[in-house]
Structure 1
Amino acid sequence: MSGRTQLARIFVLPRSAMQSGRGRSQGWTLAFEPGERQRLDPLMGWAGSGDTNSQVTLNFETKEDAIAYAEANGIPYEVEEPKPVRIKAKVYADNFRYGRAENWTH
């Protein structure tokens, strides 16, 4: 890598489409932004680059741990705060409520 250090992002990984609750959504990740564009390998046709930092992701328990690691190692960073998760409580009795707005689904 050249003398220029790459910017790192500190963020919470989003939930997968298969998750409905808050499980495995805790913890913070430090990942480096791409340092150079990917290019096609002429022999195999695979996309790649000489930037190995883009392959590194570090996981931390708290945001403060991730920030402390970045500052201790002189890594410039930016923190992306997670969007609040809104979970709408559903009540079984609402399926039979008079005057409900949704169509009957079952």
Structure 2
Amino acid sequence: MQVRIFQPPKTAMQSGRATTRQWVMEFEPQSARQVEPLMGWTSSSDMRSQLRLRFDTLEEAIAYAQKEGLMYSVERPHERKVKPKAYADNFRYDRLGRWTH
């Protein structure tokens, strides 16, 4: 059984980063999804696709996968590049672009 261990990205709807600190373990799908002919809903007979385990550290997630005998792959998060900015920089005299309303 294959699992994927990753840190979820920040949602686009909120500026907070609280849910990005934990590591998540997801099981890879065992079977393909089927379309239900009457309503058009998609369904799957794989119950593990609904399971998401959360861990505080990467080491805890790897230890759990090894203890359960699961093959795992780790996806490292992309590092944020934060440029410190100040509001006063908009009004600097050596600014390259023109400032307009």
Relative to the length of structure 1, the TM-score reads: 0.83
2:77 corresponds to 1:82: yes
Measure the CA separation in 2 of the matches of 1:101 and 1:35: 56
Measure the CA separation in 2 of the matches of 1:44 and 1:28: 35
TM superposition shift of 1:32: 1.0
Find 1:94's aligned residue among 77, 89, 95: 89
TM superposition shift of 1:37: 1.3
Where does structure 1 lack aligned partners over 5 or more consecutive residues? none
Match of 1:15, SS state, is coil
Counterpart position of 1:53: 48
Match of 1:24, SS state, is helix
Describe the shift of the 1:28–1:98 C-alpha distance in structure 2 as closer, same or farther (beyond 3 A).
same
The size of the alignment, in residue pairs, is 101
| Greater share of residues in helix | 2
TM superposition shift of 1:18: 3.5
TM superposition shift of 1:51: 0.9
Match of 1:65, SS state, is helix
| Percentage identity across paired residues of the two chains | 50
Measure the CA separation in 1 of the matches of 2:13 and 2:57: 24
Q: Does the CA-based 8 Å contact 2:8-2:19 persist in structure 1? A: no
**Paired AA for residue 61 in structure 2:** A
Find 2:11's aligned residue among 9, 12, 16: 16
TM superposition shift of 1:10: 0.3
Relative to the length of structure 2, the TM-score reads: 0.86
Greater shift in the superposed pair: 55-64 or 93-102: 93-102
